[in-house]
Chain A
Amino acid sequence: MSVIAHQQVAAGGLWSRMSLGQKQRIWAWGFLAVPLLFYVVIRFWPTFQAFYLSVTDWTITRPAAFVGLENYKRLLADALFWQVFRNTFLYLILGTPISLLISFTVAYYLDRVRFMHSFIRALYFLPFLTTAAAMAWVWRWFYQPVPIGVINDILASFGIPQQPFLRSTTQALPAVLAPAVWAGLGFQIIIFLAGLRAIPVTYYEAARIDGLSEGAILRRITIPLLKPTLVFLVVFSSIGFLRIFDQVYNINTNDPGGPLNSTKPLVLMIYQTAFSSYEMGYAAAQTVVLFVILLVISLVQLRIMRDR
């Protein structure tokens, strides 16, 4: 090192004449260049490409031609789009609160359990590590009629009539949502546990001395102090449910999207438009719409839940 430095000084090189600040900036930009390049080429470029494609009629067999907002007009007039739009929002407004409520309840009580704590936590985390495809297949079996389906078996043993689940237009969406919620629980529980652990014990002790009941402690202390965790999980899981795809695709492989498209989310529609119908321009327009929805919802949530 010092030999090189000496040589540079002797040569009066550019590097040796730079100030410390300039050298630091060169190093910083040197390291930043690699991820920046990666993001621009792998992420940003295709994104802009998608925006461009959404105003063309490209179908892979035919070169792209500019059609203006034609794809968007078609989308707004498409009954399937509004069905899919409704489904996607059902996933969101059912999935996010249900999954957060369950995972918070589990984390809240698991936090107090010392006996086999790590083991139980690992059990909850396990589904998160499992591939969605394998999980969807297992759940598909659960939903089968007797004697294959476990759930119908149990219902039958209580004398409750058989349920169609995935075959019903009304039950299919909740039936698809259940494994998705279950799969995400492990992650949410871990995050909630970390959030709960970060609250100093003395807060609770002080509250006990002041005479707060368990419920009041939860309402007045635990939940307000968990707000950063909550914001993170709400945004994170909302994005997850808005982009739901593999659960839906795999649970009904022979008929992706369920009976009468009753489970079809936006991403599945994009997938089918692009890779079954090869209408790339139209699919790109749908992608742009999804992007805008995600952006708006995330911003609104951050705004509402931001610390005032």
Chain B
Amino acid sequence: MATIEIDRLVKRYGQTAVVHGIDLAIQDGEFVVLVGPSGCGKSTTLRMIAGLEEISDGQIKIDGRVVNDLQPKDRNIAMVFQNYAIYPHMTVADNIAFGLYRSKLAKSEKRARVEQVAQTLGLSHLLERRPSALSGGQRQRVAIGRAMVRDPAAFLFDEPLSNLDAQLRTQMRIEIKRLHHRLGTTSVFVTHDQVEAMTMADRIVVMRDGRILQVGSPLELYEKPVDVFTARFIGSPTMNLIPASLKEGRADLSIGGSVKVPSLSPSTPDILVGIRPQDFTPAEAGSSGMSASGTVVVVETLGSETLVHIESGDQTIVGSAPGREVPKIGEQLTLHAPAERLYYFDRTTERTLAVQ
């Protein structure tokens, strides 16, 4: 167990910088998820923590110790890879025992540790099998087992669930989460999937283009995104953004109509009004808040809710209707969102506007 402190971390390949001086302090026992689109530098950051990539500038401390020049094996971390990286020519037991390669335990003790880990992960009956005889989820569990067996200071996960099918991914998500609760080991998890980030993290780090945009708990990010990117990245389906211009305390929407807004101080009168689809429900227009009417173009029936896409002006807006209510395509529909559920962004800087 350990803290991980990242201080002005830079990664350059030749002239190209891919990580631009990021700072991050990870608490002991915390589960931190680095999330962002591909090429945002999240994996590179993780690999620098692991010691698989050299650090161009800045510093990484694990448990207070600067590890910049330490070999991966000397950092006391364990890593789980996207393609599992379990060896096809070894049995499950040998693969897990590989995590103890450097340990000076007696053979019988190693064996006991492997069995203990296998039991935790429900692999006991598979110990003598080869990885080729395992399912994707079982292979991933073996990879986690190899990481666990050494009792490392921190777990590093590099998109470990991306190769699994949707159902298995959900299941493994829960398993990893439970495991973390039980072991309490500091974990850094890299993913491009915001659902994974939201469901697993104590804290989420949103990255883009080698920079950290926002750090916060899942709910903080959902409720108070700092900019358009985070607002659209977190939450599914993505937030609706409707261009508007401010005029005397009201915002005139590009799709028609206007909405009363709190006092904001944008750089120009041009703003974006954001509405999460879950807050945009079919209703009679209320006194406050915002309404949009349009023709229903697509209906996505999910059972628990029905996502309704309406065309209003030249924009498609996504709203949410209760599960059993399925509007017909071509129907006219009015969606309504309460005023306190609206988000405001500066259209030029794309930053969230502070309500004064």
A interface residues, Cβ below 8 angstroms from B = 200, 202-203, 205-212, 216, 221, 224-225, 227
A206 touches B81 (CB 8 A): yes
Asked, given contacts A203-B87, A225-B88, whether A208 binds B81 with beta carbons under 8 Å apart, the answer is no
What is the CB-to-nearest-CB distance from B354 to chain A, in angstroms, rounded to a whole number?
Answer: 44
Asked, given contacts A200-B83, A202-B83, A206-B79, whether A211 binds B101 with beta carbons under 8 Å apart, the answer is yes
With contacts A210-B99, A224-B89 known, what are 20 further pairs, Cβ within 8 A?
A: A200-B85, A202-B81, A202-B82, A203-B87, A205-B50, A205-B81, A208-B52, A209-B50, A209-B52, A209-B73, A209-B77, A209-B79, A210-B102, A211-B72, A211-B102, A212-B101, A216-B101, A225-B87, A225-B88, A225-B89
B77, B82, B101, B146 pick with most chain A CB within 10 angstroms: B101
Task: Choose one: A202, A212, A216; the contact of B85 (CB below 8 Å).
Answer: A202
What is the CB-to-nearest-CB distance from B67 to chain A, in angstroms, rounded to a whole number?
Answer: 13
B98 / chain A contacts, CB cutoff of 8 Å: 207, 210
11 A-B pairs with C-beta separation under 8 A:
A202-B81, A202-B82, A205-B85, A208-B52, A208-B71, A209-B51, A210-B102, A211-B102, A212-B101, A225-B88, A227-B89
Query: With an 8 A cutoff between CB atoms, is B78 at the interface?
Result: yes
Task: Choose one: B50, B73, B146; the contact of A211 (CB below 8 Å).
Answer: B73
> Which 9 pairs between the two chains have the least Cβ-Cβ distance?
A211-B73, A211-B102, A202-B85, A206-B85, A224-B89, A202-B81, A209-B72, A208-B72, A210-B101
Chain B positions 62-115 with a Cβ under 8 Å from a chain A Cβ: 71-73, 77-79, 81-83, 85, 87-89, 98-99, 101-102
B85 touches A203 (CB 8 A): yes
A210 touches B146 (CB 8 A): yes
A224 / chain B contacts, CB cutoff of 8 Å: 87, 89
B77 / chain A contacts, CB cutoff of 8 Å: 209
Complex alpha-carbon distance, A203 and B85, angstroms: 5
Nearest chain-B residue to A204 (Cβ)?
B85
Nearest chain-A residue to B73 (Cβ)?
A211
Asked, given contacts A209-B50, A210-B99, A211-B101, whether A221 binds B87 with beta carbons under 8 Å apart, the answer is yes
A205 touches B88 (CB 8 A): no
What is the CB-to-nearest-CB distance from A101 to chain B, in angstroms, rounded to a whole number?
Answer: 21
Nearest chain-A residue to B77 (Cβ)?
A209
Complex alpha-carbon distance, A225 and B78, angstroms: 23
A211 / chain B contacts, CB cutoff of 8 Å: 72-73, 101-102
A227 / chain B contacts, CB cutoff of 8 Å: 89
Nearest chain-A residue to B71 (Cβ)?
A208
Complex alpha-carbon distance, A216 and B102, angstroms: 11
Complex alpha-carbon distance, A221 and B71, angstroms: 19
B89 touches A210 (CB 8 A): no
Complex alpha-carbon distance, A205 and B150, angstroms: 16
B82 / chain A contacts, CB cutoff of 8 Å: 202
Nearest chain-B residue to A205 (Cβ)?
B52
A207 / chain B contacts, CB cutoff of 8 Å: 98
B87 touches A209 (CB 8 A): no
Complex alpha-carbon distance, A202 and B87, angstroms: 10
Nearest chain-A residue to B47 (Cβ)?
A205
B146 / chain A contacts, CB cutoff of 8 Å: 206, 210
What is the CB-to-nearest-CB distance from A210 to chain B, in angstroms, rounded to a whole number?
Answer: 5
Complex alpha-carbon distance, A221 and B95, angstroms: 11
B71 / chain A contacts, CB cutoff of 8 Å: 208
B79 / chain A contacts, CB cutoff of 8 Å: 205-206, 209
A221 / chain B contacts, CB cutoff of 8 Å: 87
Complex alpha-carbon distance, A221 and B86, angstroms: 11
Nearest chain-B residue to A224 (Cβ)?
B89
What is the CB-to-nearest-CB distance from A233 to chain B, in angstroms, rounded to a whole number?
Answer: 18
B99 / chain A contacts, CB cutoff of 8 Å: 210
Task: Choose one: B51, B73, B83, B88; the contact of A210 (CB below 8 Å).
Answer: B73
Chain B positions 289-304 with a Cβ under 8 Å from a chain A Cβ: none
B150 / chain A contacts, CB cutoff of 8 Å: 210
A203 / chain B contacts, CB cutoff of 8 Å: 85, 87
A225 / chain B contacts, CB cutoff of 8 Å: 87-89
Q: Chain B 134-163 against A: per-residue CB contact (8 Å), 1 yes, 0 no?
A: 000000000000100010000000000000
A216 / chain B contacts, CB cutoff of 8 Å: 101
A212 / chain B contacts, CB cutoff of 8 Å: 73, 101
B87 / chain A contacts, CB cutoff of 8 Å: 203, 221, 224-225
Nearest chain-B residue to A208 (Cβ)?
B72
Nearest chain-A residue to B89 (Cβ)?
A224
What is the CB-to-nearest-CB distance from A112 to chain B, in angstroms, rounded to a whole number?
Answer: 16
A203, A209, A216, A224 pick with most chain B CB within 10 angstroms: A209
Nearest chain-A residue to B100 (Cβ)?
A210
Nearest chain-B residue to A225 (Cβ)?
B89
Chain B positions 265-281 with a Cβ under 8 Å from a chain A Cβ: none
Complex alpha-carbon distance, A208 and B52, angstroms: 8
Complex alpha-carbon distance, A210 and B87, angstroms: 13
A205 / chain B contacts, CB cutoff of 8 Å: 50, 52, 72, 79, 81, 85
